[in-house]
Structure 1
Amino acid sequence: MTINDLQGCLSDVCETADQQNGSYSHADYYFSFCNLISHILLFGITVAVVYKCLLLKLAHTAGHAFYCTIGFVFFMGEALLVRNSSSLEAWIGQTNLNRLHAVLGGLAFLVGVGGIAIKTWQKLERKREDPNATVRHFRSNHGFFGIIGCAFLLGSVLSGLSLYFISSSIVSLKFLHRFFGLIGFLALMVSQMFGYNTGFGRRQWKAHHQNLFKFFTFIATLTTSNYELRRFLRDIYVLISNSLFEAEPVQAREEL
């Protein structure tokens, strides 16, 4: 494959030659299977947590878990999955696919940040009621990875808006958008897994249920991010290759 071919694959949805010819490789079937597993797990985890939170009437930590799970697990995961779906692109078109990806990403940030704000406000209220109370902000593993993931998600949203309104052809900006989105999703899913160990998680689910949640969340993290990680590594290769090829003429002029 030439450098031009690789650079063409930096487009937001890149089909392989086999797909364009109407046939599919083993890799295509593998990633399609992973996408199916991801959709099932993301939906199942979200439904299970949301159902429990609704039973608790979103009181106290339940409100935080409700919005963060919907935003950071479901909307964020689906934003990654739909962006890499060539079948969905063929059905609704690339422009509508871009819009769907943007809407899901925006909802992930807004709903998830709303969940963080709820918990932060509850801690501030507790501190006002009892000045001697020990209130920790983002110092647990769950909180640390959550705020880190949220920061990367913000970077993904801002870079995505830049691509949408300024220019969608800036390769380095696409790279940053993918980097922020991928790292943000991984951090938020790690935060979700640590969340099952919090006091809220231990009160609401038995130990074996917590372990099942961790296992399914871990599998969902792998199956959702593996294709995006593959494209991210390919982008790194293309950027390095382009920089090397562009540097050769400059070196030749300097030697003259």
Structure 2
Amino acid sequence: MAETLALLLLAHVLADFVLQPDRMAQAKAGGHPGWMLAHIGIVGGITALVLGVQTPQAAAVVAGLTGVHLLVDAAKVAIGARLSAITAFLADQAAHLLTLLMVAMLVPELWTQGFWAPHTPLWLPAALTVIAGAVLATRAGGFALGLLMRPWGEVGLDGLPGGGRIIGMLERGIIFLLILGGEPGGIGFLIAAKSVLRFGAVKEESRLSEYVIIGTLASFGWAMLVAIGTVMLLSALPPLGIPDLSP
């Protein structure tokens, strides 16, 4: 089951956060049917490709999973206006992840019956899990943080265009690696370093300091949550073969 879940998760994050450009996401949110169907086509295609679907049963499961993805996205468009942007995003992703988990539990043989399984090393699902977790921690986290901080968009630091986004992705990536490497204590050093670097810019402006604190805690919390989930899934998979570097 764990291998199937790992591959389904990878396909999901690729379809939602790598192969879905901003223009497509915005058009979907506006209810544009063409862009919605294009996204759903990507979801189905990438899922079939990642799993190496080669049996009618597996094709039917992927078709059903793709249909559920369409229903969830359509529900988000229908009721999203009644919710805050971050609430709609989190509810949408929670529904998708719950669907993936249910499919993995009900049809655990999806991966082993696929084309790729007999031709790949045992450690591959674990490696792909790390990739999926990294995308969730960095890129998906950037979307989530942007939606969370949207109500205070007029508050911010003057700096390099897009600098805050890059800093956020880097800090979440470092936290992800620290936890996977068994060195969570390094997160404290990262917090201290960022506090020192930001102190001079925000020490005399309470609104700005609160903006930075909220964004930082949310960013760190997201990365830690994703990293812990990744470690939990990795514990159920064949090991990557990387030696334990912790003392």
Common fold, TM-score beyond 0.5?
A: no
Q: Which has the higher helix share?
A: 1
TM-score, scaled to structure 2? 0.34
Question: Higher Cα Rg: structure 1 or 2?
Answer: 1
Larger relative contact order, structure 1 or 2 (CA cutoff 8 Å, min sep 6): 2
Q: What's the TM-score, normalizing by structure 1? A: 0.33
